[in-house]
Structure 1
Amino acid sequence: MSGDVFIALQGRNIHGNKYINDALDNGAEYVITDKNAGSFINENNIFLINDVLLFLLRIANKKRNNFRGKVIGITGSVGKTSVKENLKFLLSFESKVSASIKSYNNYLGVLISLINMDNFSDFAIFEIGTNNFHEIGKLTSIIMPQQVIVTNIFPTHLESLKSTRNIAIEKSDIFNLKYNSEIELLILPNSNSDELFLYDQAKKMKISKILTVGKKTNSNYHIQEINKTNKKNIIIKVNKNKESYKIDFDTDYYHQIHNAIICLSIFEHNNLPLKTFYKKVKSIPKIEGRGLMNEVAIDNKKIFFIDESYNASPVTMKICIDYFYELELQNTQKKYIILGEMNELGKLSKMYHQDVIKQILHYKFENVILCGNLFKSLLKRMKTETDQINCLLDENEIMQFLKKNIHNNDIILIKGSNSTKVNKLANMLNANKE
């Protein structure tokens, strides 16, 4: 974009130098590279340095050291981006907020997010992700968040991390004083043994303020009641230190309630007006790829598309299927559920994919499409039970099936890991928004 700095990095197969011309044509003001750019190198706005990543790290460290607002760091197995976007939305009504874009939660994403941070913000919110050991501590030492959120501990990235306890150990580095001595607030879940392990670790670290959020009665924010008042409204009763809160929440996604209570705890800790929270929590926008519903066109037929295509894990897949089963239809509407495979589950991958098939069969969905070779092999073994399930292997096959079978006002839900074919199908549908 005009006025931007283009950083040329080494990719898996191509160096960013290949795109210098495109960057300059699109208005980039400067180019920084660590590889000789040939005929470009004599240009006044192109700089050759020794190590681009080291350069980015130094700039990011300088930005962080100069920042005087509050830094919020978010990690967890799932829900990091949703919590970040919810917080950004709610806090922005009372404060100036910077936040990492999209899911920029790896090493390069964190550096770019810090460099682009507005130093005059009151809050800066960052995701911290991992799919292997020793990554959380490294990123935490760069971001140095004063307020830390762990969303949950669930089975993800098991291919490299092997167990949920290892996931918890890795995530606990976000509040390890070895990496970050700035912590004033730690918000933790407490729904399973691995999450309780986090609490024990935090106590050993002597973190000054630990708040837990969940359905257990000993949670600091105890979600006591969830009452659905109509198709789109939920009233939540939350107890905190014998105080009772009632929150009118405009959503039909139950799992978003936990995210909202995390935001409430941030509001309270920072002495922000709760009336703003209560008023605006009703209108938290859904995020593309994470539950946003769009009207799209398929062969001139208007379809409602629920886009859950950004990623998938065993827990989020189950939540999504439960939600779609509960979704009420109008008149002649039909539901089409399209599920791609879940990546990085290691030795437990077959078991978790079998669980998905069992859940689909339990709910007796009429229109099911599963996509992927693992689903295909599992369905072959279970053939007598799975006549109503279609297994298609790419986005074009699925699109042809939909064109042949779908009708006006039908509802499609797509869920799968980011690298699967269903993600490509979601992009095709989103390209035809009404």
Structure 2
Amino acid sequence: MKLTYADLPDLYRVYLQHPQVSIDSRKVAAGGLFIALRGQSDGNRFAAAALDAGAAYAVVDNPGVVVPEDDRYLLVEDSLRTLQQLAQRHRAAFRMPVFAITGSNGKTTTKELIAAVMSQQYRVHATPGNYNNHIGLPLTLLSMPAGTEFLILEMGANHKGEIAELCGIGRPTHGLITNIGEAHLEGFGGKEGVKIGKGELFDFLHANGGVAFVNTDESELAEMSQRLARCIAYFSSENPSLTVAGLEIKTVATHPHLRVAFFSEARELIETDTQLSGEHNLQNVKSAIAVGRYFKVPGAGICTALANYRPANHRSQWLNHREVAFYWDAYNANPSSVAAALNSFAADHEPADSVVILGEMLELGEAAPAAHRRVALRAGQVARTVLLVGEEMKEVAREFDRPWFADSRQLAEWFWLQDWSGKTVFVKGSRGNRLERLLD
């Protein structure tokens, strides 16, 4: 038979009949749709295996893998582009609020807090884990359950143009930027590039009549919001008042956990505890409150959601492992997030009783040497014992005469031979450091 390219309307009808989409042949659902992507390994090579495992169809972009007499192979010009177009088409079929979150730090925690708050009132679908890129975001859209009333899309980027691309697929109606920090400096070309890249969310909302939520305590966000037509401002205040424009949130306590207060729908100042600590998490909590109040989630529901949320996945976690107390925040790291986490830790721990483990920070480009020196210097003010991990930390360790380890395996071998009685260990590093090996 002659091979022909499948067109999008036909593919979308196939998807609607087989809405469980997978890009991993080992995890394909029976009766689902396998989309073969080219990456470190070419997904086209696994199309037959996916069909054998029960997939109803395999979308491929290599004619060489198609079995001519097998109608289950759907040939397209570009499988990745097809995945994105299917998601875009699916998004267009819905009219619920679509809330986008981007920023240098705190995206995932903010997403999870907002999801917890909004779930008190609505059927919510949110980005799983950190599926926040050009592949993960389309998969999030295509996995949206029927009856979803509120969709939350986390958007990550390491160079300019990525957020604009993701907005083109997800078409957010509302959104926020957590902050502008020193993340992915190499790809963005410096902090000003980060500002432009993350600001693409505001650009999209402004151009399409969307609503931006702005934490005006972040000076750069306050400045960026000046050009927006529709903006919801929120900020910290020691004496909240109903007469002030914008939503005011009071910090009642920061340690050992955050406690905040805000005005409910009954115009009463109510307080709630959280299981989070630190200024950086305060910003995340404030965002969740602001979104909940705007979408009319009752104040009691907001309080319940915030009080019940438990950080996980190596983010802002207090752990006790082999009788050693850890503050674990090692899912990602950049100069801004490391400084914020160290400042929070220092507020509640004496240097003599503290140990700091810092993994190298990735994707910083020319800024890397100075950035690593800066965070190591701050770590030395926070703890008497500072352990540094990774190639980017090697020169800093030599300069400050600190123990250095090439990788987390080497660290773990040494670490568990020491006596850490009475110490609290702070752990922060980029995901690529694999610092969780310390817990193996």
Distance 1:19 1:187 in 2: 43
Other-structure match for 1:5? 33
Distance 2:245 2:360 in 1: 34
Amino acid at match of 1:247: E
Other-structure match for 1:211? 233
Distance 2:384 2:399 in 1: 20
Distance 2:348 2:38 in 1: 46
Report if the CA contact (8 A) 2:236-2:251 is conserved. Answer: no
Determine whether 1:198 maps to 2:224. yes
Other-structure match for 1:341? 360
**SS of the counterpart of 2:131?**
coil
Summarize the alignment of residues 44-123 of structure 1 with structure 2, pairs less than 5 Å apart. 44-123=71-150
| Offset from partner CA, 1:377-428 (integer Å, 9 cap, x none) | 123234xxx3xx31111122111112211457864432111222xx2x31x3
Unaligned runs of 5+ in 2: 1-26
Amino acid at match of 1:351: A
Summarize the alignment of residues 119-134 of structure 1 with structure 2, pairs less than 5 Å apart. 119-134=146-161
**SS of the counterpart of 2:431?**
coil
Q: Give the structure-2-normalised TM-score.
A: 0.82
Aligned length: 405
- CA shift in 2, pair 1:18/1:405, >3 Å: farther
TM superposition shift of 1:51: 1.8
Q: Give the structure-1-normalised TM-score.
A: 0.83
Distance 1:59 1:316 in 2: 35
Other-structure match for 2:214? 188
Determine whether 1:325 maps to 2:350. no
Amino acid at match of 1:371: V
Other-structure match for 1:312? 333
Q: Which of 30, 35, 39 matches 2:62?
A: 35
Report if the CA contact (8 A) 1:173-1:179 is conserved. Answer: no
Other-structure match for 2:275? 251
Report if the CA contact (8 A) 2:125-2:150 is conserved. Answer: yes
TM superposition shift of 1:317: 0.5
Let me know the Cα RMSD of the aligned residues: 3.0
- CA shift in 2, pair 1:293/1:200, >3 Å: same
| Offset from partner CA, 1:112-165 (integer Å, 9 cap, x none) | 111112242110000122211122222112211111111111121211323333
Report if the CA contact (8 A) 1:221-1:261 is conserved. Answer: no
Other-structure match for 1:369? 387
Amino acid at match of 2:226: D
Report if the CA contact (8 A) 1:336-1:413 is conserved. Answer: yes
TM superposition shift of 1:193: 4.3
Report if the CA contact (8 A) 1:152-1:188 is conserved. Answer: no
Distance 1:405 1:34 in 2: 54
Unaligned runs of 5+ in 1: none
- CA shift in 2, pair 1:268/1:193, >3 Å: closer
| Offset from partner CA, 1:13-56 (integer Å, 9 cap, x none) | x2013334654565544322111353756444333322212321
Report if the CA contact (8 A) 1:289-1:309 is conserved. Answer: yes
Distance 1:274 1:335 in 2: 38
Distance 1:335 1:376 in 2: 22
| Offset from partner CA, 1:220-260 (integer Å, 9 cap, x none) | 334444424xx6443324579xx673432223512222212
Report if the CA contact (8 A) 1:34-1:48 is conserved. Answer: yes
Determine whether 1:263 maps to 2:276. no
Other-structure match for 2:432? 419
Report if the CA contact (8 A) 2:327-2:425 is conserved. Answer: yes
**SS of the counterpart of 1:404?**
coil
Q: Which of 394, 408, 422 matches 1:395?
A: 408
Distance 2:120 2:56 in 1: 33
Report if the CA contact (8 A) 1:234-1:250 is conserved. Answer: yes
- CA shift in 2, pair 1:38/1:225, >3 Å: closer
Q: Which one is further off, 28-37 or 212-221?
A: 212-221
Amino acid at match of 1:213: F
TM superposition shift of 1:179: 8.0
Distance 1:166 1:30 in 2: 42
TM superposition shift of 1:168: 2.0
- CA shift in 2, pair 1:222/1:315, >3 Å: farther
Amino acid at match of 2:159: N
- CA shift in 2, pair 1:177/1:10, >3 Å: closer
- CA shift in 2, pair 1:157/1:227, >3 Å: same
- CA shift in 2, pair 1:179/1:319, >3 Å: closer
